[in-house]
Amino acid sequence: MSLIPDSRLEDLTPEDLGRYSRHLLLSEVGLIGQQRLKAAKVLIVGTGGLGAPLALYLAAAGVGTLGLVDFDVVESSNLQRQIIHSSRDIDRPKVASAADRLKALNPSLKLQTYNIRLNSSNALQIIKEYDVVADGTDNFPTRYLVGDACVLAGKPNVYASILRFEGQASVFDAAKGPCYRCLYPSPPPPGLVPSCGEGGVMGVLPGILGSIQAAEVIKIIVGGARPLIGRLLLFDAWQMTFSELEIEKDPACPICGQNPTIKELVDYDDFCGLKAEPEEIIESLTVKELKVKLDAGTPIEIIDIREPHERTMFRFDGTKPIPFGQLVRRMEEFDQDRDLVVICKIGQRSLFAIRTLKQAGYHGPIFNLAGGVNAWAKEFDPTMVVY
């Protein structure tokens, strides 16, 4: 059964009949199914790797209204996988770039863009206007935010995530099955799971997972199909394998269980542990401050925790390379009477590394390089690669 009421259906125009003729030939879609697509309103959170193919295929399929939420701008490193953007869009807001591409693909598409960060104060107000929400985000706070907001608003949440060569997808609909919290009751420790910007991603991977999301959205709108409710689809692009896990609704889930305790959206940065307590504040150095120390000959030890293949792209001279996984067992190599600076690509893994060292008993002066080696390249050497 479709979630689009018949009262919202409109006749297809002659142009519609021609454009969507291959859908109309499918008995599972047909005229009614295409009318439902035309009447549907879908919100896409994120117009990056997943949101790019997702938005393109939904626009091409004839979904009548798309909402796009993203506060980011296009960067050159996006273009390896975010096929909705082009080189001429660099430095433009992603929602503006995506809107241009989508309107060029389907001029009849109705678009609503939100060049903002989705948060607890605006999520419900935005989501309630749509029939389906598709989550194309790349961080845990926003995934929990989208998941909770969809439960509270009674909307299906078409989910996917990617990293390196692997991806997963599911449909969370608390009225019919589990929600995101049923699968992931609590977030991982901050820094444990790298982002695509730190861990890398095969360029075609989000295209595959985003297309799966688009297929699930279309099935939900048209009705009559078996969506991924209660199922987690796992894909490995390097091995080219698909597998599936069953997800059960958790009766003790705090938002969709038998006795829910979450009645409103919360602070998701705090929930995911991204707001450090005062005693956990880690001192940082900017790249300018580090250069001043280096130029002055200040005794300092720099630990590069990037993986070996990363260091081949950008070598930071004068550092001691120790991959993150070896830090604690090699802690005795550090001179705790000297300033220790930990560096990584963008200054995120290094924060987690410093917390790990402190928990293991390191008591010397220790600093995080804010912005990592990418910030150093941008500030002091434009010939170096920013990756």
What the block records as the tokens of 283 is 């001192």
DSSP 8-state code for residue 284: E
Which pLDDT score is estimated for 151?
98
**Residue 219: is its pLDDT beyond 70?**
yes
Cα–Cα dist 368/349, whole Å: 10
Question: Per-residue pLDDT tens for 225-263?
Answer: 999 999 999 999 999 999 999 999 999 999 999 999 999
**Residue 281: is its pLDDT beyond 80?**
no
The dihedral over CA atoms of 230, 236, 239, 245, expressed in degrees to the nearest 10, equals -20
Q: Whose structure tokens read 């409710």?
A: 229
Cα–Cα dist 44/84, whole Å: 13
Sign of torsion, CA 106 112 118 123? Answer: negative
Cα–Cα dist 363/331, whole Å: 11
Question: Mean per-residue pLDDT for 26-39?
Answer: 97
Question: Per-residue pLDDT tens for 65-109?
Answer: 999 999 999 999 999 999 999 999 999 999 999 999 999 999 999
Cα–Cα dist 140/271, whole Å: 10
Catalytic residue selected from 150, 179, 182, 196:
196
- The answer to whether 287 and 371 are in contact (CB under 8 A) is yes
Cα–Cα dist 74/82, whole Å: 9
Nearest to 152 by CA among 136, 176, 128, 171: 128
**Active-site residue 196, yes or no?**
yes
**Residue 275: is its pLDDT beyond 80?**
no
Catalytic residue selected from 150, 256, 272, 344:
344
How many CB atoms lie under 10 A from the CB of residue 303? 24
**pTM (2 decimals)?**
0.80
- Domains, the chain: 6-271 (3.40.50.720), 278-380 (3.40.250.10)
pLDDT interval class at 278 (50, 70, 90):
very low
What the block records as the tokens of 42 is 């879908």
Question: Mean per-residue pLDDT for 275-293?
Answer: 79
The H or E element that residue 50 is part of is none
